[in-house]
Amino acid sequence: MALDKVVYTAHATTTGGRNGKSSTGPLELTLAKPKEMGGDGNGTNPEQLFAAGYSACFMGAMGAVAGKLGLSVPADAQIKAEVDFGPKGTGYGIGVRMAISLPGMGREDADKLVATAHQVCPYSNATRGNIDVVLTVV
């Protein structure tokens, strides 16, 4: 489905795949397979980048919807994201688990905030129906 309007476009150039380099301009990364996948683990991998991107985007989505719900995201809110990688059918797949900490917020409000953010977050919308995503308020 096409976007209604492009607001921003990110760029990255990667060489060497999981054992290479990736550049987005200000961000220069050495990529390496994790030890669990036969690599040396001396670099960043796509699953780490996905975890960082999804959790940051989700935090932004919570901020975007909080005011509409009469809530505010606590200054010390935190998301711990885990991205699993493994075989799936004839290929490979990922799964996501995010533990969302909203200190001082009541459980009902926290659950409402997370559920609403999950409906607007671009990563959530991109992954919905494609991979398992488990969101847990802790």
Q: What is the pLDDT of residues 50-102, one digit of tens each?
A: 999 999 999 999 999 999 999 999 999 999 999 999 999 999 999 999 999 99
The CATH architecture to which 1-44 belongs is: Single Sheet (2.20)
CATH topology of domain 45-137: GMP Synthetase; Chain A, domain 3 (3.30.300)
What pLDDT, on the 0 to 100 scale, is given for residue 1? 75
Average pLDDT, the chain: 96
Task: Tell me the mean pLDDT in the region 102-129.
Answer: 97
The 10 Å Cβ neighbour count of residue 97 is 15
Residue 107 CA, distance from chain mean position: 22
Query: Which DSSP state fits 120?
Result: H
Task: Tell me the mean pLDDT in the region 112-123.
Answer: 98
Burial class (CB in 10 A: 0-12, 13-18, 19+), 36: exposed
Task: Tell me the mean pLDDT in the region 13-33.
Answer: 93
* Angular region, 22: left φ>0, alpha ψ -120 to 50, beta rest: beta
pLDDT at position 25 over 90:
no
Query: Which DSSP state fits 109?
Result: H
pLDDT at position 40 over 90:
yes
Task: Tell me the mean pLDDT in the region 28-56.
Answer: 96
What pLDDT, on the 0 to 100 scale, is given for residue 69? 98
- Decide the pairing of beta strands 133-137 and 28-30: unpaired
Q: What is the pTM of this model?
A: 0.94
Count of alpha carbons within 13 angstroms of residue 42, beta-carbon side: 1
**In angstroms, rounded to a whole number, what is the distance separating the alpha carbons of residues 108 and 82?**
24
Task: Tell me the mean pLDDT in the region 127-138.
Answer: 96
Residue type, 40: D
Do 1-44 and 45-137 fold alike per CATH? no
Domain locations in the chain as residue ranges: 1-44, 45-137
